[in-house]
C-alpha cells in the first residue's frame, strides 16, 4: 500500500431519530470523499448503514444476528460513485445498534487487509446513540466493549465517533448516559475520539475530511544555555489551508494516446528591446533592483553571498511577564514544542519549565532557525501548555513575533480624552451592552462556531462545485448551502427573537444611511471648505454637541501629502485621516501652522483673516481628536506673542469675538491649560509649556 494510503469505513445511523440531520450527514460524508478524490486518490472507502429496514452483511450470514445493518459499499478505492451513494442515503425505520455496526466495520477491515496497513485504518461512526444496545450473549456490555477495543488495538484500527444531538424531547436520558459511557470506554481502551455536536454547522467540521500527516519543522535541542539543552520536536499546530493548485491542461492530445497527461508546458523567452527577434540567453541576463532613479544590477552569485545564513538551532533569549506580549503581536502560524518522544528526561524537563512558567505567569523569548541554510531568523514567544490528560506530556505553544519593519502604526485617539458631549450617555451604553449580550456566541456555555468544528465555507463550496463540474461540465455555480450560510451570516432567528433590543439600540443612536461613494474627481475634491460657526464652538471654547465633525471625513480616495492653497482645510482633514504612517498627523499639524502663518504675514488690511480662522478651527479640532492640545496651544500663544504689538493685533480681537481660544483640560486631558485660562485668552498669557 502507498505510504499515506488510508482505509475508512463510514458507519452511518439512518434510523428514525436521525432523519432530521441526514441531509447534513450526506453533505459531510460526500465532502470527505470529494477531498479524497483530490488529495488521496489511492485511499479506500466503505459505507455501512445501521437502522435500515433490510439486513445485508457477511457476519449476519456467517453467525447470525447483526440485524438492520447494510453494507452499502464494500471497501474500495474512492470514485465518483461513492459520492452518489452518500448523497442519496435511504431512510430506515428501525433502531440501530452502534456496537454491532462497529463489529461489522472491523470485520470488513480485517478481511480486506488482514495484519497489514496498521495505523491507516479508520472507522467513522455517526449516530445519536439514543436507543439501548442489546445485551451480549456472554458477559456485560462493558466486557463486550473491552473485547472489541482489544481487537482494534491489535489491528491498528482507529475509531472516530460523532454523537449528534440537536433536540431530544422524548429521549431516555438514562439510556443516553449508558451509551455515552460505553463510547467513552472506547476512548480509554482503544485509539478512539468521541465528539458531541448539537448543530448541523458543528457537524460539518466534526469529521476530519482530510488526513494530514504531522511533519516536524525542527528536531533538535532547545538550548537554555551552552550546558543545558532539552531534546524537542516542533510541529505546526495551525496552518492556513490553501486552495488546491489548479494546473493548466489541454484537450488537444489524441484520444488514442493512453499515456497522455494533457498537461500544458510553458516556456519563456527573453528578447532584446533593441532587437525584438534576438533571444537573450540566461548567461546574459541579470536581476536589477531599483535604488532611487537607477537600477542596480546584482548577480545571482552576489545575491547568494549577501544572504544571511544563520546556524540552525533554537535558543532561549530570556523570560518576560506574559502581560508584556500583546495578542496583536502574534504572527503567522502557531507551532507546538513537544519533548522528544520516549525521552523521559526531556519530558520531565519540559514539564518542569512549563509549570514554572505557568505558576509565575511568564513567557519565554526564543531565537529560532528551523533548518540549515534558512535565510531568516525567527524571534518568537513560547507559552506553557499544561496537559490535562495523564498520558499526554506538557508542551509549549510558539508564536512568531514581529520585527520593527513588520509593525504597522495606526494612531487613534482615546475615547476617554473626548469631551463628555462626545461620549455615550448611560442609556446609549446600556443599549450597546444589550446588543452585545444578544449576539453572544456562548449563551449556554456551549460555544457556537468553534474553530475545531467550523469548516472554511469558501473551500467547502469550491470542493462541492468541483464535484458537480466533474459530472456536469456546463453546470452553473449553485447557491451557498444552508449549513455554510449559517457560518457566514448572522442567525436570523436571533435577530427576530430580540427585535426589541435592536429597536432600542436604533432609538438611542442616530443611524444614517451610508451612501456608496462615487469615484473621486477634481470637481468633487474642490468641495466647499469647512466654515466656522458659533454652533460648532461654544462660548467657552468647549466642543459642541455635534457627535461627529467633518474633520475625519474621507472625502476622496486621494492620499494628500501636503496642504495646498486651494482647499487647505480639506487637505488638512485628508492628511489627518491617513493611517498608513504615524508621520501624517504631525506633518499635517506642522503644515497647517505654516499655512496660517503665511496667510497672516501676507494679509493686506485683513483680507486673509477669515481664511486663517477657518484653518485655525480645523487645526484646533484636529489637535483635540489626536490628543495634541499642547501643539495647538503653543502655536496660538506664539502667534500672539509675535504679533500682539503689530498691525495684526486686531486679528486676535476677531479670535476673541469668535470664542476661538486655547484648548482646555476639559476638552483634552493632555492639556495643561485650565478652563479659566482658556476663557481669558488672550488677556492672560503667562502660561508655562
**Tens of pLDDT along 330-358?**
998 899 999 999 999 999 999 999 999 99
Comparing 252 with 472, the larger pLDDT belongs to 472
- Which pairing describes strands 157-164 and 287-291: parallel, antiparallel, or unpaired? unpaired
Task: Determine the Cα–Cα distance for residues 206 and 439; give it in Å rounded to an integer.
Answer: 24
Task: Determine the Cα–Cα distance for residues 153 and 156; give it in Å rounded to an integer.
Answer: 5
Average pLDDT over residues 19-35: 87
> What does the pLDDT read at residue 340?
95
> What does the pLDDT read at residue 555?
41
Average pLDDT over residues 178-196: 87
Task: Determine the Cα–Cα distance for residues 585 and 631; give it in Å rounded to an integer.
Answer: 11
Task: Determine the Cα–Cα distance for residues 399 and 381; give it in Å rounded to an integer.
Answer: 5
> What does the pLDDT read at residue 433?
93
Average pLDDT over residues 95-121: 87
What would the grid cell of residue 519 be?
A: 469615484
> What does the pLDDT read at residue 683?
55
How many H-runs (helices) and E-runs (strands) does the chain carry? Answer: 21, 15
- For the chain, give the percent of residues with pLDDT over 90: 24
> What does the pLDDT read at residue 445?
66
**How far is CA 665 from each of CA 8, 360, 411, rounded to the nearest angstrom?**
70, 41, 21
What would the grid cell of residue 161 be?
A: 465517533
Contact 46, 11 (CB under 8 A): no
Range with top average pLDDT, 267-281, 321-335, 558-572: 321-335
If phi > 0 it is left, if psi is from -120 to 50 it is alpha, else beta; for residue 538 that is beta
- Asked if residue 649 has pLDDT above 80, the reply is no
If pLDDT is split at 50, 70 and 90, which confidence band does 326 have? very high
> What does the pLDDT read at residue 104?
92
Neighbouring CB atoms inside 10 A of 637's CB total: 18
Q: What are phi and psi of 496, to 5 degrees?
A: -70, -35
- Asked if residue 550 has pLDDT above 60, the reply is no
Query: What confidence tens digit (pLDDT) does each residue in 479-535 have?
Result: 888 778 888 888 888 888 888 998 999 888 877 777 776 654 444 334 444 444 433
Task: Determine the Cα–Cα distance for residues 597 and 636; give it in Å rounded to an integer.
Answer: 10
Range with top average pLDDT, 243-257, 321-335, 448-462, 669-683: 321-335
**How far is CA 84 from each of CA 27, 29, 480, rounded to the nearest angstrom?**
11, 11, 20
> What does the pLDDT read at residue 517?
64
What would the grid cell of residue 262 be?
A: 494533457
> What does the pLDDT read at residue 315?
96
**If we measure between CA atoms, which residue out of 633, 636, 616 comes closest to residue 670?**
633
Lowest mean pLDDT among 297-306, 425-434, 524-533: 524-533
> What does the pLDDT read at residue 42?
86
> What does the pLDDT read at residue 4?
64
Comparing 169 with 585, the larger pLDDT belongs to 585
> What does the pLDDT read at residue 330?
93
Range with top average pLDDT, 26-35, 228-237, 284-293, 479-488: 228-237
Lowest mean pLDDT among 3-7, 75-79, 159-163, 339-343: 3-7
Q: Which residue has 481487537 as its cell numbers? A: 151
Query: What confidence tens digit (pLDDT) does each residue in 555-589 have?
Result: 444 678 888 888 888 888 888 888 777 788 888 89
DSSP 82-103: HHHHHHSPPPP-S---HHHHHH
Neighbouring CB atoms inside 10 A of 27's CB total: 21
Task: Determine the Cα–Cα distance for residues 152 and 193; give it in Å rounded to an integer.
Answer: 13
Task: Determine the Cα–Cα distance for residues 205 and 313; give it in Å rounded to an integer.
Answer: 36
What would the grid cell of residue 158 be?
A: 482507529
* CB burial of residue 151 (10 Å; 0-12, 13-18, 19+): middle
Query: What confidence tens digit (pLDDT) does each residue in 79-105 have?
Result: 888 888 888 899 999 988 899 999 999
> What does the pLDDT read at residue 169?
59
Question: Which residues lie across from 13 on neighbouring strands?
Answer: 50
Average pLDDT over residues 268-281: 87
SS3 call for 107: helix
What would the grid cell of residue 326 be?
A: 500583546
Average pLDDT over residues 371-391: 89
The rounded mean pLDDT for the chain is 83
475 membership: H or E segment, kind and range: none
> What does the pLDDT read at residue 543?
40
Contact 663, 671 (CB under 8 A): yes
SS3 call for 571: helix
If pLDDT is split at 50, 70 and 90, which confidence band does 3 have? low
For the whole model, what pTM was predicted?
0.67
> What does the pLDDT read at residue 530?
43
What would the grid cell of residue 51 be?
A: 437502522
Q: Which residue has 440485524 as its cell numbers? A: 67
Task: Determine the Cα–Cα distance for residues 508 and 501; give it in Å rounded to an integer.
Answer: 11
Amino acid at each position: 500500500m502507498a505510504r499515506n494510503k488510508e482505509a475508512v469505513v463510514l458507519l452511518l445511523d439512518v434510523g428514525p431519530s436521525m432523519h432530521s440531520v441526514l441531509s447534513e450527514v450526506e453533505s459531510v460524508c460526500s465532502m470527505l470523499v470529494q477531498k479524497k478524490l483530490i488529495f488521496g486518490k489511492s485511499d479506500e472507502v466503505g459505507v455501512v448503514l445501521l437502522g435500515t429496514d433490510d439486513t445485508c452483511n457477511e457476519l449476519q450470514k456467517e453467525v447470525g444476528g447483526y440485524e438492520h445493518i447494510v453494507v452499502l459499499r464494500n471497501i474500495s478505492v474512492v470514485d465518483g460513485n461513492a459520492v452518489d451513494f452518500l448523497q442519496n442515503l435511504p431512510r430506515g425505520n428501525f433502531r440501530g445498534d452502534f456496537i454491532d455496526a462497529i463489529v461489522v466495520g472491523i470485520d470488513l477491515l480485517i478481511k480486506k487487509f488482514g495484519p497489514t496497513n496498521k495505523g491507516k485504518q479508520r472507522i467513522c461512526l455517526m449516530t445519536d446513540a439514543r436507543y439501548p444496545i442489546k445485551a451480549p450473549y456472554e458477559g456485560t456490555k462493558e466486557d463486550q466493549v473491552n473485547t472489541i477495543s482489544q481487537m482494534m488495538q491489535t489491528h491498528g484500527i482507529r475509531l472516530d465517533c460523532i454523537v449528534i444531538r440537536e433536540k431530544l424531547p422524548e429521549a431516555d436520558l438514562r439510556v443516553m448516559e449508558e451509551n455515552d459511557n460505553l463510547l467513552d470506554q472506547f476512548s480509554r481502551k482503544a485509539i478512539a475520539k468521541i465528539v458531541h455536536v448539537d448543530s448541523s454547522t458543528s457537524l460539518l467540521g466534526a469529521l476530519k475530511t482530510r488526513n494530514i500527516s504531522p511533519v516536524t519543522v525542527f528536531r533538535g535541542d532547545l538550548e537554555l544555555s551552552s550546558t543545558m539543552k532539552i531534546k524537542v520536536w516542533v510541529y505546526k499546530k495551525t496552518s492556513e489551508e490553501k486552495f488546491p493548485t489548479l494546473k493548466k491542461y489541454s484537450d488537444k492530445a489524441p484520444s488514442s494516446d493512453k499515456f497522455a497527461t494533457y498537461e500544458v508546458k510553458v516556456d519563456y523567452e527573453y528578447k532584446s528591446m533593441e532587437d525584438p527577434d534576438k533571444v537573450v540567453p540566461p548567461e546574459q541576463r541579470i536581476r536589477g533592483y531599483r535604488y532611487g532613479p537607477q537600477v542596480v544590477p546584482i548577480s545571482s552569485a552576489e545575491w547568494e553571498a549577501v544572504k544571511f545564513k544563520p546556524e540552525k538551532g533554537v535558543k532561549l533569549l530570556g523570560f518576560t511577564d506574559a502581560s508584556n506580549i500583546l495578542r496583536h503581536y502574534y504572527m503567522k502560524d502557531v507551532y507546538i514544542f513537544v519533548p522528544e518522544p520516549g525521552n523521559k528526561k526531556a519530558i520531565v524537563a519540559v514539564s518542569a519549565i512549563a509549570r514554572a512558567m505557568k505558576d509565575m505567569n511568564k513567557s519565554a523569548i526564543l531565537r529560532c532557525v528551523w533548518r540549515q541554510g534558512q535565510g531568516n531568523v525567527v524571534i518568537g514567544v513560547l507559552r506553557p501548555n499544561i496537559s490535562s490528560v495523564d498520558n499526554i506530556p506538557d508542551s509549549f505553544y510558539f508564536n512568531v513575533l514581529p520585527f520593527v519593519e513588520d509593525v504597522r502604526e495606526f494612531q487613534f485617539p482615546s475615547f476617554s480624552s473626548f469631551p463628555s458631549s462626545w461620549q455615550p450617555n448611560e442609556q446609549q451604553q446600556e443599549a450597546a451592552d444589550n446588543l452585545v449580550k444578544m449576539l453572544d456566541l456562548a449563551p449556554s456555555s456551549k460555544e457556537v462556531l468553534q474553530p475545531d468544528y467550523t469548516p472554511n465555507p469558501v473551500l467547502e463550496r469550491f470542493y462541492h462545485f468541483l464535484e458537480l463540474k466533474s459530472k456536469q461540465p456546463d453546470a452553473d455555480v449553485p447557491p451557498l448551502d444552508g449549513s455554510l450560510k449559517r457560518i457566514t451570516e448572522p442567525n436570523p432567528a436571533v435577530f427576530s427573537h430580540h427585535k426589541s433590543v435592536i429597536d432600542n439600540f436604533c432609538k438611542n443612536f442616530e443611524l444614517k444611511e451610508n451612501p456608496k461613494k462615487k469615484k473621486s474627481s477634481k470637481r468633487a475634491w474642490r468641495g466647499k471648505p469647512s466654515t466656522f460657526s458659533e454652533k460648532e464652538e461654544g462660548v467657552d471654547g468647549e466642543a459642541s454637541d455635534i457627535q461627529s465633525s467633518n474633520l475625519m471625513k474621507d472625502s476622496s480616495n486621494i492620499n494628500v501629502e501636503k496642504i495646498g492653497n486651494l482647499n487647505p482645510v480639506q487637505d488638512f482633514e485628508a492628511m489627518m485621516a491617513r493611517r498608513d504612517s504615524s508621520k501624517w498627523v504631525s506633518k499635517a499639524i506642522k503644515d497647517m501652522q505654516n499655512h496660517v502663518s503665511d496667510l497672516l504675514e501676507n494679509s493686506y488690511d485683513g483680507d486673509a483673516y477669515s481664511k486663517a480662522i477657518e484653518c485655525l478651527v480645523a487645526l484646533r479640532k484636529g489637535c483635540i481628536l489626536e490628543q495634541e492640545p499642547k501643539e495647538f496651544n503653543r502655536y496660538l500663544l506664539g502667534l500672539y506673542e509675535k504679533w500682539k504689538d503689530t498691525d495684526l493685533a486686531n486679528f486676535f480681537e476677531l479670535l476673541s469675538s469668535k470664542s476661538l481660544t486655547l484648548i482646555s483640560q476639559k476638552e483634552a486631558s493632555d492639556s495643561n491649560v485650565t478652563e479659566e485660562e482658556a476663557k481669558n485668552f488672550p488677556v492672560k498669557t503667562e502660561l508655562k509649556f
